[in-house]
């Protein structure tokens, strides 16, 4: 058979009209139960978590492959917030216009065609799944910090378990080496060859969250709301108690590593903002989405930005930058003031915060994969809806197992950076997509419009694209793994997706 390049090109660029996307979504039978308040709670549940309880320390003090912003972290936060703000406005326009599961994947399909839709979906898998691994790992660390407060009551094996049972392999090796122990001796091996290092608490948490999501979106939203109130109460306790221990001299030098530190901090702290876009993945389960989705997206971003800036001011005011604990910065800062009981409450808030983040990330993962399966990029079996709970339970379990497997070998820093690369890509694409659809379909009804087009979308592209390109040249492991992930996505598309979609369309045309 002769290869038809023109047909091949047209297939790659074939778009799905917003009307077609909406028609398919109407037959999905997902319950519409969420209101604007629920969406803001889901958004805060996703955004305020790992970033404020863990990543904020790395952004301020620096990490293995990056320099810290110091007290200028508030400038880094404003840069990251602006990148999110312009993207959030673009998300709001699309979410109100095409309220279906799939987030930026769906919006890309409507504007750039099949191939780009798959690539964005593939990158979103990286963003959410790897983000889940990051959160689960951080949760495990805070969980054992919390248990240490009960060391006089609980058995030693529970408070101080072997490092290879509560960490991934790379982290366990690092812990043993820093303790002067030989990892080859301390870490057992299966068949004398395969090292056994399993983060058991993280795996158990992921399985519990997966079970909750199978039960239903409403139950998940209620759980997220409870967790949000707990962690906000703890964070404000830190802000109001910590402000009395702030020493202004700790804010000088304000920018110890210059503008490089500020940009590096902006890239890292961007992880703290990831999650607000997960609101749009619940579009098909939202009541009056044209009104509630924009409120949920922009309301989440506004609340979280205020909380972040206040927290960073207090943190860098209490502890000199060089003494910030990068694993548990907030609780360690409060312990340094002598208020150990407050530090204990912060650990509880951290556990609640990280749990809610994991819940919303896992929700985002399943809804995006569900939409991609519905379009033929993934096997049809993943679309199956639970007869009792009306949730996509098969894809929920598949995504949960993927996170469990990833938690076996991914460490927190690299997975956080990879998650950032995925998010920057999807945010940039959504800003471009708004400009495209304004040109190709200017008369479509838009319940919410991005103001000052094309300037705001272009600013979103410059902020997100600029931070991503800068980081590709300054980071190490993640800057190699992200392009590799993109290449694997291209291979998978041509090996499976392209042919499967053509097969489905041929079957439908013959009916």
What's the pLDDT tens digit per position in 413-448?
677 778 778 888 888 888 998 999 899 888 888 888
Q: Which residue has the higher pLDDT, 255 or 38?
A: 255
* Count of CB atoms situated within 10 Å of the CB of 446: 18
State the pLDDT at residue 24: 67
State the pLDDT at residue 390: 74
What is d(CA 131, CA 146) in angstroms, rounded to the nearest whole number? 23
Give the pair of three-digit tokens for residue 314: 């207090």
What is the average per-residue pLDDT within 26-47? 71
Are 88 and 304 in contact by the 8 Å Cβ rule? The answer is no
Residue 400's pLDDT band, with cuts at 50, 70 and 90, is confident
Residue 461's pLDDT band, with cuts at 50, 70 and 90, is very high
What's the pLDDT tens digit per position in 230-241?
878 888 888 988
What is d(CA 478, CA 416) in angstroms, rounded to the nearest whole number? 9
Task: Indicate the pTM of the whole model.
Answer: 0.76
Are 406 and 202 in contact by the 8 Å Cβ rule? The answer is no
Residue 490's pLDDT band, with cuts at 50, 70 and 90, is very high
What's the pLDDT tens digit per position in 83-140?
888 888 888 888 778 776 656 787 888 888 899 989 988 887 777 777 777 777 778 7
Give the pair of three-digit tokens for residue 90: 């673009």
What's the pLDDT tens digit per position in 311-327?
999 999 998 888 887 66
**DSSP, res 384:** P
Q: How much of the chain, in percent, has pLDDT values that exceed 70?
A: 89
What is d(CA 192, CA 189) in angstroms, rounded to the nearest whole number? 5
User: What Rg value do the Cα atoms of the chain yield, rounded?
Assistant: 23
State the pLDDT at residue 426: 83
Residue 409's pLDDT band, with cuts at 50, 70 and 90, is low
Give the pair of three-digit tokens for residue 503: 């097969």
Instruction: Mean pLDDT check: name the lowest of 1-5, 9-13, 385-389.
Output: 1-5
Q: Please determine, for residue 356, whether its predicted confidence score (pLDDT) is greater than 90.
A: no
Across the chain, what does the average pLDDT equal?
80
Q: Which residues contact 63 (CB under 8 A, 6 or more apart)?
A: 268, 326, 413
């Amino acid at each position: 058979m002769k290869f038809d390049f023109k047909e091949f090109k047209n297939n790659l660029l074939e778009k799905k009209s917003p009307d077609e996307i909406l028609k398919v979504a109407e037959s999905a039978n997902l319950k519409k139960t969420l209101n604007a308040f629920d969406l803001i709670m889901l958004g805060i549940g996703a955004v305020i978590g790992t970033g404020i309880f863990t990543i904020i320390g790395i952004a301020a003090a620096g990490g293995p492959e990056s320099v810290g912003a110091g007290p200028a972290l508030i400038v880094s936060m404003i840069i990251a917030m602006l990148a999110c703000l312009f993207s959030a406005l673009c998300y709001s326009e699309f979410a109100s216009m095409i309220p279906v599961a799939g987030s930026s994947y769906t919006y890309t399909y409507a504007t750039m065609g099949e191939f780009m839709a798959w690539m964005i979906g593939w990158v979103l898998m990286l963003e959410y799944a790897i983000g889940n691994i990051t959160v689960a790992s951080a949760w495990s660390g805070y969980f054992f910090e919390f248990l240490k407060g009960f060391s006089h009551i609980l058995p030693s094996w529970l408070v101080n378990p072997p490092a290879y049972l509560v960490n991934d392999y790379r982290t366990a090796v690092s812990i043993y080496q820093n303790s002067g122990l030989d990892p080859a001796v301390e870490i057992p091996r299966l068949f004398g060859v395969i090292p056994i290092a399993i983060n058991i608490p993280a795996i158990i948490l992921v399985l519990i969250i997966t079970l909750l999501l199978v039960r239903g979106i409403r139950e998940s939203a209620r759980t997220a709301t409870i967790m949000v109130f707990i962690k906000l109460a703890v964070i404000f306790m830190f802000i109001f108690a910590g402000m009395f221990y702030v020493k202004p001299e700790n804010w000088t030098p304000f920018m110890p590593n210059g503008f490089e530190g500020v940009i590096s901090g902006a890239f890292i702290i961007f992880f703290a903002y990831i999650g607000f876009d997960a609101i749009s993945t619940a579009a098909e389960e939202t009541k009056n989405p044209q009104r509630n989705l924009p409120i949920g997206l922009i309301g989440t971003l506004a609340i979280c930005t205020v909380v972040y800036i206040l927290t960073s001011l207090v943190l860098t005011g209490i502890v000199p930058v060089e003494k910030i604990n990068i694993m548990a910065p907030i609780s360690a800062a409060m312990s340094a003031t002598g208020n150990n009981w407050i530090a204990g409450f912060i650990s509880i808030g951290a556990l609640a915060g990280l749990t809610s983040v994991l819940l919303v990330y896992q929700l985002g993962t399943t809804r995006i994969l569900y939409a991609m399966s519905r379009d033929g990029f993934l096997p049809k079996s993943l679309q199956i809806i639970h007869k009792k709970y009306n949730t996509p339970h098969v894809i929920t379990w598949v995504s949960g197992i993927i996170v469990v497997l990833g938690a076996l070998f991914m460490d927190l820093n690299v997975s956080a950076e990879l998650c950032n690369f995925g998010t920057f890509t999807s945010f940039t694409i959504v800003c471009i997509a708004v400009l495209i659809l304004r040109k190709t379909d200017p008369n479509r009804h838009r319940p919410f419009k991005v103001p000052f087009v094309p300037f705001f979308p272009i600013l979103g592209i410059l902020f997100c694209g600029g931070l991503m390109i800068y980081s590709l040249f300054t980071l190490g492991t993640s800057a190699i793994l992200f392009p590799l992930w993109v290449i694997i996505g291209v291979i998978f598309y041509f090996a499976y997706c392209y042919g499967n979609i053509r097969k489905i369309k041929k079957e439908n045309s013959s009916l």
